[in-house]
């Protein structure tokens, strides 16, 4: 009569079956069949262990124990261990030489043994008599097993292993993702029974160089989280400070703080600024050469000495010099307004061309016609020479209007009339603030 015993390795999901004749199979024979089925070799480099399915920590230590049919066991391979008197590997299950457990034999000899009434089977018996004898023997063996089980002590549950158990200590680098501790498994976390505990989500430092990490102690992290208001929890549950630095856990289980690579960022910024300045100098030089070649000297800024560039709006003139015939010191009577204002302030409001006194800022005259000419000329030359305006590109990257240098889509600032004086008497009361885009209110006479 064919019987079965089911087994499964701890790393497997599906179970396997061992077929045998009779009502039970010994532990030794079951291990032999498992090794043969899975082609595990000679068994010299491992040891095979079997455990009860109801109690995974209870091992079948005696090779002579009988496992009844239709049972389910758990199998596990472990490294071979050297014990006193023998080497603990699975080679004996392959060779067919079982190991005798003296303690089990002595305990069995001391315990009362109930004899099993078996019917002998010989060659002179017919097939029906043999089948009948087999069923009788099976019934007798099952009755004996029931008697033995009635004397066993029932273990309803196994208490959880505490953190003091040396076999239950996690390896170095392990971290409990519930409380952040490193001295226990998450299944033994002391906060498992606390319904009010809120876990902390700490990321791993995967892919971050160690030079960008600052090691912190667990006590420092807890102290910062409890007392320092600058360390908060973001929407993802991560611990961050005001600078955006995230508290993380390293591969060795240490708490670290990610630091920004300031040196590399400054180097990158310097390279970008140097490249932008170089592109602007090349662009200005090409445009000035083109303007001089086309005989447009009025397009060049006359106040620049270190470098040359075309005039940029707003372009203004002084009231004393508005004609080519009045040029004395300079080659152009048109100026960039901010540059001219600084020059007048530095020279005590003397004209930079004819040295006329009392040329105040509010008396400057706007030259809008020249602004339109220069704008049309620049667009034509950029298409002709295939140039790209670096000033325009920089303004677009910053979200500014390249023509007016203000945020795109924002309300333009009101232009200050030229008749309004720039300097006011400190004893005079301040005028009411003007609203953007609103005309001045008429005053009643």
**Residue 84: what pLDDT?**
44
Residue 410: pLDDT band (50, 70, 90) is: very low
Residue 352, burial from CB neighbour count under 10 angstroms (0-12, 13-18, 19+): buried
329-350 average pLDDT score: 89
**Spatial contact of 416 and 341, defined as CB atoms under 8 Å apart:** no
Q: Cis link prior to 226 (omega < 30° from 0)?
A: no
Q: How far apart are the first and last CA of the chain?
A: 126
- CA–CA dist 293, 135 (Å, integer): 119
Give the span between the Cα atoms of 85 and 80, in whole angstroms.
14
Distance, in Å, from the CA atom of 319 to the CA atom of 292, rounded to the nearest integer, reads 26
The Cα 239–Cα 200 span in angstroms is 8
Domain ranges of the chain: 2-111, 166-262, 269-397
The pLDDT score that the predictor gives to residue 181 is: 72
pLDDT band with cut points at 50, 70 and 90 for residue 416:
very low
Quote the DSSP letter at residue 357.
Answer: S
The CA–CA distances, whole Å, from 29 to 5, 26, 55, 234, 401 equal 12, 5, 21, 60, 88
Confidence of residue 316 (pLDDT cuts 50, 70, 90): very high
**Nearest to 216, CA basis, from 191, 183, 249:** 249
Q: Binning pLDDT at 50, 70 and 90, where does residue 295 land?
A: confident
**Under 8 Å CB-to-CB from 344, ≥6 apart: which residues?**
350, 352, 359, 360, 361
Of 99-103, 266-270, 311-315, where does the model show the most confidence?
311-315
pLDDT of residue 307: 79
pLDDT value of position 145: 85
User: In terms of Cα–Cα distance, which of 263, 260, 269, 266 is closest to 209?
Assistant: 260
Q: Give mean pLDDT, residues 246-260.
A: 71
Q: Is the pLDDT of residue 5 over 60?
A: yes
Look at strands 247-249 and 203-204 and give their pairing: parallel
CA distance 59 to 397: 71
Is residue 406 pLDDT above 70, yes or no?
no
Considering only residues 101 and 196, tell me which one the structure prediction assigns the higher pLDDT: 196
CB 74 within 8 A of CB 50: yes
- Phi and psi dihedrals of 258, rounded to 5? -75, 130
Given a contact cutoff of 8 angstroms between Cβ atoms, the answer to whether 387 and 283 are in contact is yes
Class for the domain spanning 269-397: alpha beta
pLDDT class of 396 with cuts at 50, 70, 90: low
Q: Does residue 109 register a pLDDT over 70? A: no
For residue 308, which phi and psi values (nearest 5 degrees)? -115, 140
Arithmetic mean of pLDDT over the chain: 75
* For range 231-252, the mean pLDDT: 68
- Residue 180, classed as helix, strand or coil, is coil
Q: Which helix (H) or strand (E) holds 173?
A: none
269-397 has the same fold as 2-111: no
Residue 408 pLDDT level (bands cut at 50, 70, 90): very low
The highest-confidence range among 78-82, 261-265, 291-295, by mean pLDDT, is 291-295
pLDDT of 368 > 60? The answer is yes
Q: What is the pLDDT of residue 324?
A: 83
Is pLDDT at 189 greater than 60 in this prediction? Answer: yes
Q: What is the mean pLDDT of residues 268-291?
A: 85
Per-residue exposure over 131-161, b if at least 16 CB sit within 10 Å of its own CB, e if not: eebbeebbebbeeeeeeeeeeeeeeeeeeee
pLDDT at res. 105: 52
For residues 111 and 318, what is the distance between their CA atoms, to the nearest angstrom? 124
Q: How far apart are CA 272 and CA 287, in angstroms?
A: 23
Residue 184: pLDDT band (50, 70, 90) is confident
Query: Is CATH 3.10.20.90 correct for 2-111?
Result: yes
Does pLDDT of 421 surpass 50?
no
Write out the E strands in 269-383.
315-317, 334-336, 365-366
Neighbours of 31 (CB within 10 A): 25
Per-residue confidence band for 329, with pLDDT thresholds at 50, 70 and 90:
confident
Q: What is the pLDDT of residue 116?
A: 62
Tens of pLDDT, residue by residue over 139-178, are: 888 888 888 888 877 666 555 544 445 557 787 767 777 7
Q: Are 396 and 419 in contact (CB under 8 A)?
A: no
The better pLDDT of the pair 396, 346 is held by 346
Looking at the predicted structure, is the pLDDT value of residue 422 above 60?
no
DSSP letter string over 68-119? ETT-EEEEEEE--EEETTEEESSHHHHHT-PPP-HHHHHHHHHS--PPP---
What is the predicted pLDDT for the residue at 325? 82
Statement: residue 252 has pLDDT above 70: no
């Amino acid at each position: 009569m064919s019987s079965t015993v089911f087994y499964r390795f701890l790393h497997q999901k599906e179970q396997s079956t061992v077929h045998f004749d009779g009502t039970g199979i010994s532990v030794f024979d079951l291990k032999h069949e498992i090794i043969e089925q899975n082609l595990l070799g000679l068994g010299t480099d491992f040891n095979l262990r079997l455990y009860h399915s109801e109690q995974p920590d209870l091992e079948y230590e005696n090779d002579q124990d009988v496992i009844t049919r239709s049972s389910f066991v758990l199998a596990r391979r472990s490294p071979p261990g050297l014990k006193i008197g023998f080497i603990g590997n699975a080679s004996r299950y392959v060779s067919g030489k079982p190991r005798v457990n003296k303690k089990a034999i002595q305990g069995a000899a001391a315990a009362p043994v109930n004899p099993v009434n078996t019917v002998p089977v010989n060659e002179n018996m017919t097939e029906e008599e043999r089948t009948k004898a087999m069923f009788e023997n099976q019934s007798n063996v099952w009755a004996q097993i029931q008697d033995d089980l009635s004397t066993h002590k029932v273990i309803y549950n196994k208490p959880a292993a505490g953190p003091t158990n040396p076999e239950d200590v996690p390896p170095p680098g392990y971290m409990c993702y519930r409380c952040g501790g490193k001295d226990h498994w998450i299944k033994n976390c002391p906060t498992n029974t606390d319904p009010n505990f809120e876990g902390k989500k700490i990321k791993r430092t995967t892919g971050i160089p160690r030079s960008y990490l600052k090691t912190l102690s667990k006590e420092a992290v807890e102290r910062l989280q409890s007392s320092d208001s600058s360390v908060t929890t973001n929407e993802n549950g991560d611990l961050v400070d005001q600078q955006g630095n995230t508290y993380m856990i390293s591969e060795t289980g240490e708490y670290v703080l990610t630091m920004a690579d300031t040196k590399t960022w400054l180097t990158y910024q310097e390279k970008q600024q140097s490249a932008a300045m170089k592109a602007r100098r090349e662009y200005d030089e090409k445009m000035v050469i083109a303007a001089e070649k086309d005989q447009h000297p009025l397009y060049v800024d006359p106040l620049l000495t270190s470098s040359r560039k075309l005039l940029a709006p707003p372009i203004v003139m002084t009231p004393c010099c508005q004609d080519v015939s009045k040029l004395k010191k300079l080659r152009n009577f048109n100026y960039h307004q901010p540059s001219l204002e600084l020059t007048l302030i530095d020279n005590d409001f003397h004209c930079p061309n004819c040295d006329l006194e009392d040329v105040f800022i509010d008396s400057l005259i706007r030259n809008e016609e020249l602004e339109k000419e220069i704008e049309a000329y620049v667009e034509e030359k950029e298409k002709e020479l295939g140039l790209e305006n670096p000033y325009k590109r920089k303004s677009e990257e910053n979200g500014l209007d390249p023509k007016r240098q203000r945020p795109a889509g924002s309300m333009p600032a009101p232009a200050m009339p030229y008749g309004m004086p720039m300097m006011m008497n400190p004893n005079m009361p301040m005028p009411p603030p003007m609203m953007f885009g609103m005309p001045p209110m008429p005053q009643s006479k």
